[in-house]
Structure 1
Amino acid sequence: MHQVTALPAFKYNYIWCIHSAGKAIVVDPGDADVVQHYLQANNLQLVAILITHHHWDHVDGLPQLQQQWQNATLYLPAAEQHKIKHAAQNYQYLSADDLITIPDLAINFRIISTPGHTLGHICYVAEDAEKNWLFCGDTLFSAGCGRLFEGSAAQMHQSLTLLNQLPADTLVFCTHEYTISNLKFALEVEPDNQAVVEHLDFCQNLRQQGQITLPTTLKIERLINPFLRCEQPQLQQQWQQTNAQNLFTFLRDWKNRF
């Protein structure tokens, strides 16, 4: 049975560690020390590193981890190879629809290309009888989505539409603890959305108890995340937008200033 553990890093980041039978995979390790401490404390051997995009808080742990774990395979977005400055060893570049297998944990990932936050951003999807997992970097957040640093609103809307086609029970492992601020924005967008009101209360209680708000599920996100609800005619009408993409563009611009 696989376990997935959130390793808090920096102020709002989570490095996800998937582990089973003494072997581990980490996703977007911006801080090597956080990873090393957890691996050592739990007697785990690092066998793979998954990278979603090139931003420093997702990749800066690579040199130290690759030096320590030279047999661990590094998986990187092919479209961002020129942007990840750290020299890589034992690596594989990935593009849309690639499939990878990590034998040590008997786990497979399918790659979804999700430009928007960055142009070469990818997500990792694990699907089998036991689970549906999405490691989505900075594309999808609980009740929100990533800023458009490189891509367009049209690209991000299309990327989120792709992710939203995954099964409702998909566990969504985002890399930032932005849920409460995102829910406050969602409440501005849909003041009468009772699901947002209830989830905000639930998440505030979690945070007060020192717990994290992740992972979420697509089932929950379809109820509370305005960026996944742009197809709703009522929402388009409310904000005087003629289609889903226009509403998404309007909301993303508003969120930038919120």
Structure 2
Amino acid sequence: MQLRALPAFNDNYIWALCDEAGRALFIDPGDAAPVLAAVAGGLQPAGILLTHHHHDHIGGVPELLARWPGLEVIAPHDPRIAQATRRVRDHDRVDLAGWSFDVIAVPGHTLTHIAFHGHGMLFCGDTLFSLGCGRLFEGTPEQMHASLARLATLPGETLVCCAHEYTLGNAAFALAVDPDNPDLQRRVAEARHQREQGMPTLPTPLATERTCNPFLRTETPAIRAAVARHLGHDPQPGADTFAALRRWKDGFA
């Protein structure tokens, strides 16, 4: 089994999960061109997984279906994803072309956002990023906080396969919040080296995110103290601290 990150647009990744025969699942193909290039290089489409309705995640699907009309497209229950051939929800299990994934509902970035967990990998779209998390376009801080907390309970060796190369941008904020965290400092140095070498910073082990990502550490004294200094008062634990941290990130220059 091989995992490939196909760059798309300015900073998206379309994930291709390939078996030994070259069959591939494509996750969040917002642009058909990288998928078609991968197919020209020998991959055979076996299915498509979609995490949410945003165009940079689903925009390439019509062109791919025009070429492979029988391709299965698995997506959340959301009428904004018109090309879905199978709808899934929380706790469903997806079995497709030899792969199996558990579906996890992760509302916050959007209300119907889902993630796929299986084979030691987490395809989490725009919910969890390395050293960050998605913006709240539709959901509430309570929903996103609960979604991230749920993902954080997965095994530490799980590879986080998020959909954007945001790591270094997130790193600047994470270091402003948690400057004395040696695990974070090591992760940032690693990510800088990866980008200097032209490599993706992803996937990253969930265990690393649990020690480095401030949005997964809102219950720790260091993060709570940083948020309190930023606010000028102590936030309530849980979603209130998360909400303040997310607002801080939204306005971070």
RMSD after superposition: 1.1
1:28 corresponds to which letter in structure 2? Answer: D
Shift of 1:234: 4.1
Quick check: 1:49–1:73 contact (8 Å CA) kept in 2? yes
Alignment of 1:31 with 2:70, yes or no, is no
Shift of 1:233: 3.4
Alignment of 1:41 with 2:33, yes or no, is no
* Residue of structure 2 in register with 1:197 after alignment: 185
Instruction: Provide the secondary structure at the position in 1 that maps to 2:125.
Output: coil
* Residue of structure 2 in register with 1:255 after alignment: 249
Quick check: 1:183–1:224 contact (8 Å CA) kept in 2? no
Deviating above 6 A after TM superposition, structure 1's stretches of 4 or more consecutive aligned residues are none
2: CA distance between counterparts of 1:22 and 1:166? Answer: 28
* Residue of structure 2 in register with 1:113 after alignment: 105
Quick check: 1:115–1:155 contact (8 Å CA) kept in 2? yes
1: CA distance between counterparts of 2:40 and 2:247? Answer: 43
Map Cα deviations across residues 95-134 of structure 1 (whole Å, 9 max, x no partner). 00000101x3x210110000000000000010xxxx4110
Quick check: 1:114–1:156 contact (8 Å CA) kept in 2? yes
Q: 2:239 aligns with which of 240, 245, 253?
A: 245
Map Cα deviations across residues 179-231 of structure 1 (whole Å, 9 max, x no partner). 01111101111111111112111111110111110001111001110000012
2: CA distance between counterparts of 1:62 and 1:28? Answer: 9
Aligned residue pairs total 245
Shift of 1:28: 0.3
Quick check: 1:77–1:94 contact (8 Å CA) kept in 2? yes
Alignment of 1:122 with 2:114, yes or no, is yes
Map Cα deviations across residues 44-102 of structure 1 (whole Å, 9 max, x no partner). 22111000000000000011101111221100101x2x222x4x26x100100000101
Which deviates further from its counterpart, 67-76 or 167-176?
67-76
* Residue of structure 1 in register with 2:153 after alignment: 165
Alignment of 1:11 with 2:10, yes or no, is yes
Quick check: 1:236–1:244 contact (8 Å CA) kept in 2? no
The gaps in structure 2 that reach 5 residues or longer are 229-233
1: CA distance between counterparts of 2:212 and 2:90? Answer: 28
1:83 corresponds to which letter in structure 2? Answer: R
Q: 1:219 aligns with which of 200, 204, 207?
A: 207
* Residue of structure 2 in register with 1:179 after alignment: 167
- Relative to the length of structure 2, the TM-score reads 0.94
1: CA distance between counterparts of 2:187 and 2:160? Answer: 16
Instruction: Provide the secondary structure at the position in 2 that maps to 1:136.
Output: strand
The gaps in structure 1 that reach 5 residues or longer are none
Shift of 1:148: 0.3
Quick check: 2:161–2:202 contact (8 Å CA) kept in 1? yes
Which deviates further from its counterpart, 190-199 or 28-37?
190-199
Map Cα deviations across residues 118-157 of structure 1 (whole Å, 9 max, x no partner). 000000010xxxx411000000000000000000111000
Instruction: Provide the secondary structure at the position in 2 that maps to 1:52.
Output: coil
1: CA distance between counterparts of 2:223 and 2:93? Answer: 37
